[in-house]
Structure 1
């Protein structure tokens, strides 16, 4: 029986690259996203697509009942709102981004780890960001991603004794739809800090996520893999 993996935001960008890779490895895929208008995996065998607004934290238990038990959780969905400044960030916008980028990933770990604990096996991978490690103009995006990195460490400690690993990746800007929200000036400035002068590809980030979700040794737990091509070496 093949393992079952839930990928939030697996309909496009990095998430789609992860979905494709996991499908090639023979996993049963459940993709949760807000829409599937451009997703090429709709109708593909072993892929279940569930439309859900991940800002709705209160409905996650009902969502989990629909999904059923899983072996691997990939908290990939996230977004930023660079149009807002630190001193002009509406309350509704703050709450929405924190729900999607932090509260929902944490709640999904709470919910789905219960079955993982019973079977003494599970893999959880969170998609954080370099924004959570350095100062970022979208302050609430940066704070959410910083907290997600810390949550990864916390849950690695909480769940490690049950055979569950919890890790995350922190990519720098990647060639996805999210870049449409960045100014050309900001994108050009960032590329100057990168050794090869380009953004990451979704497939490059996906390879790290898939490794953490599959072949990663049990002793690698609670870590954050930086994917930034020397733009933030540490």
Structure 2
């Protein structure tokens, strides 16, 4: 296995399960020290035990990314433990799907707060350390839903917002050796897509089958597919790639 992230520290939000855990494992397997943030204590504990059993250098922190005080405290503790933060992956996310006329204020606010405010809080807290060291990689997890998706007016707006957030970060932080990019997954087999199947009243297998029928490569996505794309952006050699959105969806997205 490659050791391209040896000496680097990565922070992954929502990193205890699904796509986030796959990203954390990809970076850790290539010798990054990883800090996993999440609000699910049981999942964090399981993730920590799993990673330590594999010999990975990991710490976990329970933190709500929507609360700047918790974020700032977690970031300072990570820096105190590892000495630096080189890679930030803003992955924490939730869905509160519904058609517009059925959507409650709380559904809109929750999705906006976790995806957008959470990414803002984390990036603001981390960037000062990256600026001091004149190096950083920021990767925001968007979605093909940014292009529009029925029943996800909140999620689509939040994910599109992350793409604008990413491009602005690239402009502001580039002079400090910091890149900012976004990975936009298509259909990926996760607990979140299982929840989507439940919402629309079909089995997960039926959702996979329906989704694959529209994917040119003829298969559904796995969390590891997203982790691979994140690792590309996180690589020190990707220093001339910034402000980009990479759709990882098994085919083109317009």
CA contact (8 A) 2:137 2:178 kept: yes
Q: SS at 1:167's partner residue?
A: strand
The structure-2 alpha-carbon separation of the partners of 1:136 and 1:113, relative to structure 1 and needing over 3 Å to count, comes to: farther
SS at match of 2:179: strand
The aligned residue for residue 3 of structure 1 is: 8
- In structure 2, list runs of 5 or more residues that go unmatched: 1-5
> Gaps spanning 5+ residues in structure 1: where?
none
Query: In the alignment, which of 192, 201, 223 is matched to residue 244 of structure 2?
Result: 223
Alpha-carbon shift at residue 113 of structure 1 (Å): 0.8
Query: Residue 41 of structure 1: SS of its match in structure 2?
Result: helix
Kept after mapping to 2: 8 A contact 1:54/1:100: yes
Alignment partner for residue 75 of structure 1, among 90, 104, 129?
90
Once the two structures are overlaid, the 10-residue window that deviates more, 53-62 or 190-199, is 53-62
| Alignment: residue pair count | 232
The answer on 1:210 being equivalent to 2:231 is yes
2: CA distance, partners of 1:87 / 1:225: 32
Which of 173, 197, 200 aligns to 1:159? It is: 173
In structure 2, the residue matched to 1:200 is 221
Shift of 1:195: 1.3
SS state at 1:173 partner: coil
Which residue does 1:115 correspond to in 2?
Answer: 129
Matched with 2:3 is none
Which deviates further from its counterpart, 53-62 or 126-135? 53-62
Q: Are 1:32 and 2:52 counterparts?
A: no
How far 1:93 sits from its partner (Å)? 2.3
Question: Which SS does the other structure have where 2:27 is aligned?
Answer: helix
Deviates more, 1:176-185 or 1:163-172: 176-185
| Runs of 4+ that moved beyond 6 A | none
Take 1:59 and 1:215, find their aligned partners in 2: how far apart are those partners? 29
CA RMSD after TM alignment: 1.9
- What's the CA shift for 1:63? 2.6
Retained in 1: the 8 A contact 2:166–2:243? yes
- Give secondary structure in 2 for the equivalent of 1:78: coil
Q: TM-score, normalised by structure 2?
A: 0.84
Q: CA deviation at 1:38?
A: 4.1
Find the counterpart in structure 1 of residue 253 from structure 2: 233
Please point out which of 176, 180, 192 is paired with 2:190.
176
Q: Verify the 8 A CA contact 1:130 1:170 in the aligned structure 2.
A: yes
**Deviation digits for residues 128-175 of structure 1 (CA, Å, limit 9, x no counterpart):** 000012334211011000000111011001101110000010011201
In 2, Cα distance between equivalents of 1:87 and 1:138: 12
Higher helix share: 2
